[in-house]
Amino acid sequence: MQPDDIITYLDLVNEEKAHLQKGMNYRIGKNYSVFLMSVRKNAPYADQINHTTGALIYEGHDHPKTTLVPEPKSVNQPMTTSSGAWTENGKFFKAATDFKTGLSPNPELIKVYEKIANGIWCYKGFFELVDVEHASDGKRKVFKFHLLPITKTILNGNIELPHNRIIPTHVKVEVWRRDKGKCQICGSSKNLHYDHVIPFSKGGSSLIKENIRILCAKHNLEKSDKIMILVPWISVAAAAITTHRMN
Ligand SMILES: [Zn+2]
């Protein structure tokens, strides 16, 4: 799987061999963790992407809603459960702190998926958990986990893309709606991928929806050897210009 691939929830389950329900999932793979995120309107948590550095700030999870805690948003996010075990907040807090203090030589690896629509997800790539804040948001204490996108070769030889290629989730959500979840060349709704109209390597932006569209795997690969220059009356393939395969 490559970053910006569009998948169903079932694909996600098959990839991770787990029915993920929670946002934060510590070490569900052999040597990495998984975060699920959403920055849609009404999303339950205030996750943010820094569009300059590509850093992702992921908010911890709330106390479960119980008879004793009827309003989870009014109490501190918990480090431990009532029986004293680490919550997912606590496990990741410990991992980030161990890395910061040098107790652990490597940061925790976190695979991130973002929700695009009901049952539709996008793979965002691998990140490293490099820092954590446990601080007041004005009303209560929350966790803010700092993740940096990985740009070097890791697990199974997968090469992750540069962080500045990361398309913001809100752009992906808007493009999904505009393109109606289909390849913009053939109309297929299978094996879809977010594509840069002008490749990132040629100066195309990741931040505006006009430069992002949905293509199927076949047309994404066909496009990789040429740039389509669209003018009002004719479509010219500038075949001489070889572009990066992943664009
Ligand atoms: Zn297609």
> 13 alpha carbon to ligand 1 midpoint, in Å?
25
| 171-238 is a CATH 3.90.1690 domain | no
Q: In the predicted model, is pLDDT for residue 132 greater than 50?
A: yes
Place of tokens 């539709």: 120
Q: 167, 206 in Cβ contact below 8 A?
A: yes
Whether the pLDDT of residue 45 is over 70: the answer is no
- Delimit the domains of the chain by residue range: 6-166, 171-238
* pLDDT of 44: 59
Report the candidate in 192, 55, 53, 27 with the shortest Cα–Cα distance to residue 117.
Answer: 192
Ligand 1 geometric centre to CA of 37 (Å): 27
Average pLDDT, the chain: 83
Strand pairing partners for 235? 230
The reported pTM is 0.82
Gap from CA of 48 to ligand 1 centroid (Å)? 31
* Sign of CA pseudo-dihedral 92, 94, 99, 105: negative
Distance between start and end Cα atoms, the chain: 15
Q: Tell me how far the alpha carbon of residue 200 lies from the centroid of ligand 1, in angstroms.
A: 20
Residue 35 has pLDDT above 80, yes or no: yes
**Are 61 and 23 in contact, with CB atoms under 8 Å apart?**
yes
pLDDT, tens digit, for every residue of 228-237?
A: 444 333 333 3
Q: Is the pLDDT of residue 245 over 50?
A: no
CA dihedral 82, 84, 88, 93 (to 10 degrees): 130
- What's the pLDDT at 231? 38
The reported pLDDT for the residue numbered 235 is 37
Q: What class has domain 6-166?
A: mainly beta
Ligand 1 center to 193 CA (angstroms): 10
**Residue 170 and residue 39 in contact, taking contact as beta carbons nearer than 8 Å:** yes
Q: Tell me what percent of the residues of the chain surpass a pLDDT of 70.
A: 79
Is pLDDT at 16 greater than 90 in this prediction? yes
- Of residues 161 and 47, more confidence is placed in 47
At residue 212, the 3 state secondary structure works out as strand
Cα 167 to Cα 225: distance, rounded to the nearest angstrom: 22
